[in-house]
Amino acid sequence: MAQSLTDYAKNWFKHTNKAERIWLMAKIEFKLRYYENKMGLLWALMKPISDMLIYFFAFQVILVSDIPHFVPYLFIAIIIWNYFLESTMGTIQILQVKRYLYEYTNMDKLEIYLSVIISNFIGFLFNLVIFFIMCQFTGVYFDYHIIYAIPLFLNLIILSLAFSLILSTLYLLAKDISQIWTIIVGLGFWLSPIIYAMDLYRSRLPHFDYLNPIAGLIINARTVFIGVNGMHNPDWRLMGFDFIYAGFFLLIGISMLKNLGPNASENL
């Protein structure tokens, strides 16, 4: 079974141009998003920086938060949240916007989703560079534990892809899904440990770190990059839960695409 899966993966990359095509579409998507105006890439960096400055002013200057390394603490949470938000909100209408890709050639729809998710991840990496620079100025130093960020980011990509698939296929049935999702993510922001101290979050919202799949990602990313009480090892149990969530939602998303996707052209 494992051997046949490996062979399948090898064939997929070697004998098709799918990987090359997904990367080509991701690059073009990224260019469309950020190079279309004179400010260019600066816009990609402006949003998280402006968010961070607003929250920093509100919680550090006015409310005087005593969370150590509050700026990077806030920033890593914001860029993870924004990646999830962009990858889900921004793809709700993907089957409509990108219909030229699957209607006029027999391109697999999943490739279109992957290209957009990867394109967003390029933007995420730019933000991560800003985060690394910021850490140097705020006295946060990394060690080998940052290697654990790789499974965390993979988890984030799978989760975002899963919700992207679910929401965009739901859009075929209900055009107001984006309004509903706006309310859900608005609520989700305040139910995630983005601006709160961890102790406060866990005491006031018990079990939410396990119930909210984004919460675990933020908590573990902070642990890996900034550390909690000098510890940098992620909470493996929490990471396991988050992978199960991501896998579960991905299965639902793929199943919905398989069942509703073929009729996308008619329903749009």
Contact residue for another protein among 173, 187, 211, 244 (CB under 8 A): 173
Which of residues 101, 130, 197, 238 is near another protein by CB under 8 A?
A: 101
Q: What is the DSSP string of 114-150?
A: HHHHHHHHHHHHHHHHHHHHHHHHTT----GGGGGHH
- Minimum CB separation of residue 259 from another protein in Å reads 11
Among 47, 175, 202, 232, binds another protein (CB under 8 A): 175
Options 2, 62, 64, 176; binder of another protein; rule CB under 8 A: 176
- The answer to whether residue 265 forms part of the interface with another protein (CB under 8 A) is yes
How far apart are alpha carbons 70 and 55 in whole angstroms? Answer: 10
CB of 72 to another protein, least distance (A): 36
Minimum CB separation from another protein for residue 104, in Å? Answer: 4
- In whole angstroms, what is the distance from residue 78 CA to residue 134 CA? 14
Stretch of 43-51, 62-70, 99-107, 239-247 lying at the interface with another protein (CB under 8 A): 99-107
- As a whole number of angstroms, the distance between CA 225 and CA 220 comes to 9
Three-state DSSP class for residue 248? helix
Cα separation of the two ends of the chain: 39
Q: How far apart are CA 170 and CA 96, in angstroms?
A: 12
The window from 138-146, 167-175, 235-243, 250-258 that contacts another protein (CB under 8 A) reads 167-175
Is residue 100 close enough to count as binding another protein by CB under 8 A? yes
CB burial readout 56-82, b (16+ within 10 A) else e? beebeeeeebebebbbbbbbbbbbbbb
Regarding 266 and contact with another protein (CB under 8 A), the answer is yes
| From candidates 3, 17, 37, 229, binder to another protein by CB under 8 A | 17
Residue entry with tokens 């984006």: 178
Taking the least distance from each CB to another protein, the nearer of 3 and 105 is: 105
Q: Which stretch binds another protein (CB under 8 A): 104-112, 121-129, 187-195, 218-226?
A: 104-112
Tell whether residue 37 is a contact of another protein (CB under 8 A): no
**Rounded to whole angstroms, what are the CA distances from 265 to 94, 104, 153, 197?**
12, 11, 33, 47
Q: Is 38 in the site for another protein (CB under 8 A)?
A: no
Please check whether residue 114 is in contact with residue 92, taking contact to mean a CB–CB distance below 8 angstroms: no
- Interface residues with another protein (CB under 8 A) are 16-17, 20-21, 24-25, 28, 32, 98, 100-101, 103-107, 173-177, 180, 262-263, 265-266
